[in-house]
Structures are given as structure tokens and as C-alpha cells.
Structure 1
Amino acid sequence: METVSVIIPVYNGAQTIVSTLDSVFAQEGVNLEIIVINDGSTDQTLEVLQTFKTQINLFSTVNQGVSHARAFGLTKATGSYIQYLDSDDLLAPQKIRMQMQALKNKNGDVAYGDWQKFVEVNKNIIFKDKVSQEIEGDLETTIFAKFWAPPAALLYSKRICEKLSWSNTLPIIQDARYLLDAARSDGHFVYTPGVMAYYRTEQEYSLSQKSKLAFIKDIYQNSLEIHQCWLVSESYNQEKEKSIINSLRYTINEFRGLDRQCAKKAINALLTIAPGYIPEEKGLLRLMSKLFGYKQAEYLAYIKRKFLKG
């Protein structure tokens, strides 16, 4: 039976790692290699992990972030399939077996499934929204613009992982970029219906929840990087350009209340890609863009909002 390598980076996860590991131990019908990277934790994480030393392959490193920890874990993996798993999320029962079989049946590289949010209150798990989304249309464009799933809901082939690298320039959305790069590397995606994983929300060490500005900066940086990648490919088209513009528009809107200088940079980046840009949606911004240009229209809109706030 082929082996699945489960790679779990953990930083200060003493309160959640046991539940995560239990969801891995509960997987049936698969041969697992469990690799846990203690990424310089300062709480009791290491002590907790050492109680499982006969069941896991434990490595400790200085704190270098989740991308480095995942990349390090991959160098230790011997399995034919790779399950990345955050230290506060849970795998659904039979998840790995079902997705591994789906990849085998269709010679796939990435299996993806539905997932469900949850919170833990007084050690009781409360399930929230279920997210079901099968990718339709152009694979790269859809993943860039519309699709995200936590690593727990995915299963990769080792062969596609060997073509990829974890980004050090995107500390918050590096998992989304990794998935997109799998598509850009001609990975074959397979949808497995049903809840494959449970995604913890309101976690203390969630980077995207701790810093909204850093999260938006990541989206901005990723948009510029993917635009450059697509420009040199034969697949660049109006749909991809529109998805880049929409992403930059999103960052501009978010930057407005967070960092004015970042908003200016994003506006300039958008106009570099689409000189003479006019927003499609009807409204005052579209009208002002036609009269004065988009950059000046954004400035006038900024002055208006500042005046209304007093």
C-alpha cells in the first residue's frame, strides 16, 4: 500500500495539536507517515508532541514561518501523496483514503473537497458554515479569483509537490499561491464531494485575522506576481487580465482605510496594466473616471470620504 505523508507545521499550538493529531490517527485504510515540525514554539507544544513520539516523526527548528516548515517537512516525506495540515484544523473520517483513491483512479495531482468551519467553545466544537465549491471554467483563473480551500481539504501527489515551492514573499496567503502554482504546473485536479475537513476560525495565531493590512498586502503582491507569470505564458487573455484588475481593485478599496500610500501604489499598478481604465460598475466613480481619469477619480473619492468623516 502506498504511503501518504502528513505534514503538520505547528507554532504555539499546544491547545489544538492533540485534536488535530487525533483526526489523523483516526484515518483508516491508509498507510500514514506523520511528520510534525515544531516551528520554534514558546509554549508547551514540544512537551505535548513528545508524548506522541512513537506515532509521529518529530522535528524541531528555529521559528522561520509556516512556509519554511512545510518545505522542510516535504524534504522528509517518503510518501507518494502529501497531506498538508495546519495544527488547528481537523481531517474528516476517511478523508485521506477517499482522496487518495480519487487521485489513483483519475491519475490526478490535487484532490479537493468541501470543508466546514468550526469554533471551539469551552472544549465543545460548534460547526458553522459548510463550503462546497467545484471548480468550473479556466482552472488558473478560477483558483486565482474565486476559489480557496484550507490545506486540510486538499491532497497532493508527491510528483506535483516536487515541481512547486512554498512562497517566502507571501507569508499569509502562501497556501493559496501553492494551490494556484499546482494548476500553473499543469496539475490535474479532482473534486471529491462531501466534507473533507474542518477549518477552525477565530484562532489566536491566524495571520490573516491578526493583521488585515498584511493580508491585503499579500493579495496585492500575489496579483503582481501572477500577472507577470501570465504575461509570459501563452494562456494570457482578457479573462485573466480582468481577474487581475478585479483583485487590484479589491486591494485599492481595502487599502483606502488602512494605508493611503499602499492604495496609491495599487492604483498605479492597475493603470500600468490597463491604461485608461474605467470601472465597469455604474456610479460616481465611473462617471468621474470618464471625466478626469481613474487615478484622479480615486483621489476625488478619497477627498469626499475624508470630508464626510469630518
Structure 2
Amino acid sequence: MKKVSIIVPVYNGEATIARCLDSLLAQTYPCLEILVIDDGSSDRTRSVLEPYRGRIHLLCQTHSGVAAARNMGLQRAAGDFLLFVDADDFLGCDCVERVVQKQRESGADLVRFSYQLVYPDGRIQEPIDSFTEEVFLPKAAFTEQIYPYFLSSIRFNAVWATLYPRELLAGLTFPTGMKTAEDAAFSLEVYTRAQSVLLSMDAVYFYVQTPTGLTRRGLGLLDKYRANLQLSGYLLEKLRVWGMDSFPNRLKTYLRPLMLTIHKLRRLLQE
């Protein structure tokens, strides 16, 4: 049976990390290792984690950011496959079993599965970008059905809700010099390496909507703009590799940071 390593970075997650870990320990798939990286938390996170020793691998570092925490997990992971889970999110009890079975049946390099939004009032909602059908995409289909999303949306940016074969990630790390969008930079490399992807409708990842999550760290709009501008540099390099280096795609890449910043500003004004 293939081993799956689950990497969980956590920073000041005392209120949510127990629910996350309980969902991982309740998985029906038996061959797991759970690596939790405490990124120098200053709250009671470490106290919450201590009773889980023996059932998880607890790693600690001085506060260095989510990219460095995930990199530590990558270095220590021994599984044949890897999953990333954010500390304020959780998995359905059969998540790992289902996605490993999907990989086994399809032979896909990556299995990208669906998720559900969980709100503080208990509401659970499907996101607007849910997959409407299960699709196996060979490399030839990436230029139409994968790569364009990196230019105009954030659909494939997040590293959670994806099953990765460990060998595909060999030598790959998250850039530590970005205040946000480091997951998008990582995903760019992964999807460039991958030869096939299975898009699964299984909504077995629960993405909790809180103001304190890893993707809601209170960064100012200027910081977000700068990080996305840096990401545009990565994208311009990939356009050449993907055979998509055209004027319209370059224009989309240049405009992407501005459009995302405007979208974020609108959301802030609506809150």
C-alpha cells in the first residue's frame, strides 16, 4: 500500500488545529504519516499539539512563514504521495482513500479534487469554480484547460486539494521571498512538470472561511500587489516553456496583478 504524507503548516492555530488533526487521524486510509510544522506560534498552538505526539510528527521552527514551513515538511516527508492541508481546514474521513483510488485507477500524475466552503455560521457551500465533471487531462490539453487559468484566475493556485506523487516534487521548494502567492509559484512548477491531471468532482476538502486563515493574513493591498507582480515574472518564463508566449497572453500576465488587487479591494469594500 502506498504511503501518503500529509503536510500541515500551522501558525497561531490554537482554535482550529485540533479539528484539522482529528479529521486526519480519522481517515479511512491506513497508511499515513502526518507532519505538522509549528511555525513559531506565539499562542497556545504548541500546547494543543502536545497530546497528539506519537500520532503525528511534530516539527518546529522559528517564525519563518508558511513557505518555509511547507519546505520543512517536504524535506521530511517519506510518503509515496503528498497532500497539503491548511491548519484551519479539514478533510472528509474518506478523502485520502478516495483520491488515492482515483490516482490508481487513472494513472494521473496529479489528482486535483473539489472542495467545499465552510462558514463560521455552519453553512457549507460549493465554490463557483467547482468541477462539473470528472476529466482526465493529458499534457496536450494543458494549454487550453490548465495553463490559461494561471493567467486569469486563481483556480489552480492553492496547493491543497491535490494529491502529488513525491517524485514529481523532487528538488522543488516554495519560494520564501514572497509574502503571498508562494503557493501559486509552486503550482506553476508542478503543473509544468506534470504529464497528466485528473480533475475529480469529489468534494472532500473543507475550506474554512475565516479572517485568520493562511490566505487571509492581513497583508495590505500593496504587499499583495507586489507579490502578484513577482508571480507575473514566473508566469512570463512559463509562457515560453508552455509554447504560449503571445502578445495577448503577455498582456493578461501584466494585467493580472492589477485585476487581482481590484478584485480584493471590491471584496474588502463589501465586507
Instruction: Using the TM superposition, give the Cα deviation of residue 180 of structure 1 relative to its aligned residue in structure 2, in angstroms.
Output: 2.0
For the 8 Å contact 2:10–2:36, the answer to whether it is kept is yes
Distance 1:204 1:256, change over 3 A: closer
Cα RMSD, aligned residues only: 2.6
Distance 1:15 1:46, change over 3 A: same
Give the alignment of 1:59-138 within 5 angstroms. Answer: 59-121=59-121, 125-130=122-127, 131-133=129-131, 137-138=144-145
Corresponding residue SS for 2:210: coil
Alignment equivalent of 1:222, drawn from 216, 227, 231: 231
Query: Which has the bigger relative contact order, CA under 8 A and spacing at least 6?
Result: 2
More helix by share: 1
Amino acid at match of 1:70: R
Q: Percent identity?
A: 23
Amino acid at match of 1:247: R
For the 8 Å contact 1:115–1:198, the answer to whether it is kept is yes
Q: How many correspondences in the alignment?
A: 254
For the 8 Å contact 1:4–1:30, the answer to whether it is kept is no
Instruction: Using the TM superposition, give the Cα deviation of residue 211 of structure 1 relative to its aligned residue in structure 2, in angstroms.
Output: 2.0
For the 8 Å contact 2:7–2:83, the answer to whether it is kept is yes
Give the alignment of 1:260-275 within 5 angstroms. Answer: none
Counterpart Cα distance in 2 of 1:195 and 1:18: 21
Counterpart Cα distance in 1 of 2:72 and 2:82: 13
TM-score, with structure 1 as normaliser: 0.73
Does structure 1 residue 140 correspond to structure 2 residue 147?
A: yes
Once the two structures are superposed, residues 68-111 of structure 1 have per-residue CA deviations (whole angstroms, 9 ceiling, x without a partner) of 11111111111000011110001123111111122222322221
For the 8 Å contact 2:224–2:261, the answer to whether it is kept is no
Does structure 1 residue 183 correspond to structure 2 residue 191?
A: yes
Counterpart Cα distance in 2 of 1:143 and 1:180: 8
For the 8 Å contact 2:110–2:197, the answer to whether it is kept is yes
Corresponding residue SS for 1:236: coil
Counterpart Cα distance in 1 of 2:23 and 2:262: 39
Corresponding residue SS for 1:71: helix
Give the alignment of 1:154-169 within 5 angstroms. Answer: 154-169=162-177
For the 8 Å contact 2:225–2:257, the answer to whether it is kept is no
Distance 1:52 1:232, change over 3 A: closer
Counterpart Cα distance in 1 of 2:94 and 2:241: 41
Corresponding residue SS for 2:9: strand
Instruction: Using the TM superposition, give the Cα deviation of residue 10 of structure 1 relative to its aligned residue in structure 2, in angstroms.
Output: 0.6
Counterpart Cα distance in 1 of 2:255 and 2:30: 42
Amino acid at match of 2:148: T
Amino acid at match of 2:199: Y
Counterpart Cα distance in 2 of 1:19 and 1:51: 13
Counterpart Cα distance in 1 of 2:213 and 2:265: 26
Distance 1:247 1:128, change over 3 A: same
Counterpart Cα distance in 1 of 2:125 and 2:220: 22
For the 8 Å contact 1:144–1:180, the answer to whether it is kept is no
Instruction: Using the TM superposition, give the Cα deviation of residue 2 of structure 1 relative to its aligned residue in structure 2, in angstroms.
Output: 1.1
Which residue is 1:193 aligned to?
Answer: 201
Which residue is 2:269 aligned to?
Answer: none
Which residue is 1:244 aligned to?
Answer: 253
Structure 1 stretches lacking a partner, 5+ long: 258-310
